[in-house]
Amino acid sequence: MSDAGRFDPALVAAGTAALDAMKADSPGLVLAVLISDDGFEVVRTPRMGEQDGRFASMASSVQALSEAVIHELQIGKGDAVIIQAASGVVIQQRVPGRSVVLSALFRTDESLGRCLVGVRNCTAALDAAISALPSGSSITL
């Protein structure tokens, strides 16, 4: 199930371009999903794969819990969420000030630093693309 139909086609197009660019730059990228704050998938790369929406929902819960911890500990503005496992690393980052979040799964042969740079570049590109959309102001926090 893809939820793309519920989102502005211009946002979906911008998301597709940004995710494809990240994929081209990051050989270790397995999966990247752009999700709405409330856990719906806007777009993913690669396009196929499991699409029951479960990962998008979990990513939104993880993001919200991480931001709750940041708020609780008063440790300033949130940056990235990192989930490191034996055979994969998930990195999440909110598009700055926006109600969309990027969640990306990398293989462990990609260095963590490179993964973080890839995610940061992608969210920056998304922010610029969303700013240029007529609907951009509605995709804010």
Find the part of the chain contacting another protein (CB under 8 A) among 25-33, 35-43, 85-93, 107-115.
Answer: 35-43
Count CB neighbours of 137 within 10 A.
9
CA distance 101 to 23: 17
What's the min distance (Å) between Cβ of 129 and another protein?
18
Kindly state whether residue 36 participates in binding another protein, applying the rule CB under 8 A: yes
CB-nearer residue toward another protein: 40 or 106: 40
Q: What φ, ψ does residue 45 adopt, rounded to 5°?
A: -135, 135
CA-based end-to-end distance of the chain: 26
Kindly state whether residue 8 participates in binding another protein, applying the rule CB under 8 A: no
Kindly state whether residue 38 participates in binding another protein, applying the rule CB under 8 A: yes
Residue with tokens 């911008």: 14
Among 10, 21, 64, 83, binds another protein (CB under 8 A): 64
Count CB neighbours of 26 within 10 A.
21
Report which of 96, 103, 91 is spatially closest to residue 54, judged by C-alpha positions: 103
Kindly state whether residue 68 participates in binding another protein, applying the rule CB under 8 A: yes
Q: Rule CB under 8 A: which residues touch another protein?
A: 6-7, 36-40, 53-54, 57-58, 60-65, 67-68, 72, 99, 141
